[in-house]
Amino acid sequence: MDFSFFGESVQLSKKVYVGNLSFNATEEQVHDLFSEYGTIESIAMINDRDSGRFRGFCFVEMEDASAAKAIAALNGKTVDDRELRVNEAKPREERSGGGYRGGGGNRNSGNRNNRNDYGGGSSRW
């Protein structure tokens, strides 16, 4: 889709999710796979935060019409004995920080003012 701002044509781009890639896939291989459908604006290969190892999925950003062609052609295609999952990327869901899942809690009544196991609830000093 083209828009015109201040007399210049601007094309909107779409981010495409590419899943079930081989863990040995490279950015160059993904580029070669998608380039026949249009100009690629960016490729983000997703690596594990701790090990640095590729996680088997990436995001490809390309012009709207090109992205639609690539999705139609590549979704379900077998590459390196793996059936690719290719679709429009969904916005990342909001996550709470740090992986804290709650739990624990106060062993007493749950009222912090009642606690005396840290010295704050009594005048022992």
- pLDDT tens for 102-118 read 666 555 555 555 555 55
111 within some domain: no
pTM, two decimals, is 0.68
Q: Domain containing 47: what range?
A: 17-83
Q: Residue 38: give its domain's CATH number.
A: 3.30.70.330
SS3 71: helix
Distance CA 62, CA 81 (A): 26
124 within some domain: no
**Residue 98: is its pLDDT beyond 80?**
no
103 within some domain: no
**Residue 53: is its pLDDT beyond 60?**
yes
Looking at residue 94, its pLDDT comes to: 80
Which of 18-55 are b and which e, b meaning 16 or more Cβ less than 10 Å from the residue's Cβ? bbebeeebeeeebeebbeebbebeebebeeeeeeeebe
Stronger pLDDT, 118 or 66, i.e. the higher one: 66
44 within some domain: yes
User: What is the chain's mean pLDDT, rounded?
Assistant: 83
Looking at residue 49, its pLDDT comes to: 96
3 within some domain: no
**Residue 4: is its pLDDT beyond 60?**
no
SS3 29: helix
Which residues have a Cβ under 8 Å from the Cβ of 18 and sit 6 or more positions away?
Answer: 30, 57, 58, 59, 60, 74, 84, 85, 86
SS3 31: helix
Domain count, the chain: 1
105 within some domain: no
How confident is the model over 63-80, as a mean pLDDT?
97
123 within some domain: no
Residue with tokens 């950015």: 27
